[in-house]
Amino acid sequence: MKKSQFVSLVTVFASLNMILDSLMGLPGLSSGVWFSWVFIAEPITGIVLGPYAGFLATFIGVMIGHCIYFQGPYEFLFTLGAPIGAMVSGFLFRKEWKTILTYFTALLTIYFITPISWQLPLWGMWDTYLAYAALILAIMLITKSRSWKLQSKGLIYTVGLCAFIGLEADVLFRIFVFIPCQTYKLLYNYSVIELQSIWVAGAAETPIKIAMSILFTAIVVPPLIKVLRKTNLFSEFS
């Protein structure tokens, strides 16, 4: 791929992330992790551009998007999870799973050894636990190379799995900043009861948004990759 073509592709995805991040989410789904629509483009960006360019495009998009749809200065810290999520989706699609496994294991461990987490509903992060199990499954499929299908009908399941784990990596980063880093107290002065309410609401609403993103990714990415392959603008192992 020519450098100019690649830069253009990064610019397109940065613009897409910016537009979606500047749009307010559905009124009925206003709590949970994401307040905008950036979760729709996040995994697609990482899968198509790769982990590093995907991180960059998403980072540029959310930084500008947060300036347009201003949600407070603290949200600029939490939204770093979006480019991380894109990067994780890109890594996993390209079979680079070791960094992802280390990331999930480390952040989950740090969360559980943080005393305040013991007072929060254990089931409140059920989707994150499911993502960790899905990551183990993905690793098993990757190590059996023929099982990690990037062609025809198998591609839809692969991109769906990459989207799920990438989005949950985003969620986990935000939880890490919120609980172990104690921003819930330092920045927001939340009580334990308020945190418990946030955990209950997030356990219901965040998975809905993740399911929407997975469905959109599974529909859009396979034909998009097919077109980009024909024009030599995509290589899953570049």
Q: Residues 194-216: what's their mean pLDDT?
A: 93
Alpha carbon distance 99, 102 (integer Å): 5
* Residue 166 binned pLDDT confidence (cut-offs 50, 70, 90): very high
What pLDDT score was predicted for residue 231?
77
What's the CA gap between 182 and 110, in Å, rounded?
12
Q: Is 237 a member of any domain?
A: no
Percent of the chain residues topping a pLDDT of 70: 90
Q: How many domains does the chain have?
A: 1
Q: How many other CB atoms sit within 10 Å of the CB of residue 136? A: 13
| Closest to 127 in 3D by CA, of 199, 37, 45 | 199
Query: Residue 236 domain-assigned?
Result: no
Q: Which of 124, 135, 147, 93 is nearest to 205 (CA)?
A: 124
Question: CB-based burial of residue 29 (10 Å sphere; 0-12 exposed, 13-18 middle, 19+ buried)?
Answer: middle
Query: Does 216 reside within a domain?
Result: yes
Report the C-alpha gap between 92 and 101 in whole angstroms.
Answer: 10
Domain range enclosing 181 = 3-230
Work out the average pLDDT over 82-92. 97
In this predicted structure, the answer to whether residue 150 has a pLDDT above a threshold of 60 is yes
Sign of CA dihedral 128, 132, 134, 135: positive
61 Cα distance to chain centroid: 14
**Which of the residue ranges 71-75, 107-111, 112-116, 166-170 would you say has the lowest mean pLDDT?**
71-75
Q: Measuring CA to CA, which residue among 26, 11, 25, 27 is closest to residue 64?
A: 11
SS3 at position 79: coil
Q: What is the mean pLDDT of residues 21-25?
A: 87
* 187 token code pair: 């920045």
pTM of the full structure = 0.93
Tell me how far apart the alpha carbons of residues 81 and 61 are, in angstroms, rounded to a whole number: 13
200 found inside a domain:
yes
Rg of the chain, C-alpha, whole Å: 17
Q: CB neighbours (10 Å) of residue 129? A: 13
**pLDDT given at position 98:** 96
Any domain includes 114: yes
- Taking 60 as the threshold, does the pLDDT of residue 170 lie above it? yes
Joined together, the tokens standing for residue 149 give 């299908």
Would you say residue 46 lies in a domain?
yes
- Whether 204 is covered by a domain: the verdict is yes
Query: What is the C-alpha to C-alpha distance for residues 224 and 238, in angstroms, rounded to an integer?
Result: 17
Amino acid residing at 70: F
Residue 235 lies in a domain: no
| Ranges of H-type helices in the chain | 3-21, 38-49, 51-68, 75-78, 81-93, 98-112, 126-143, 154-178, 183-186, 192-230
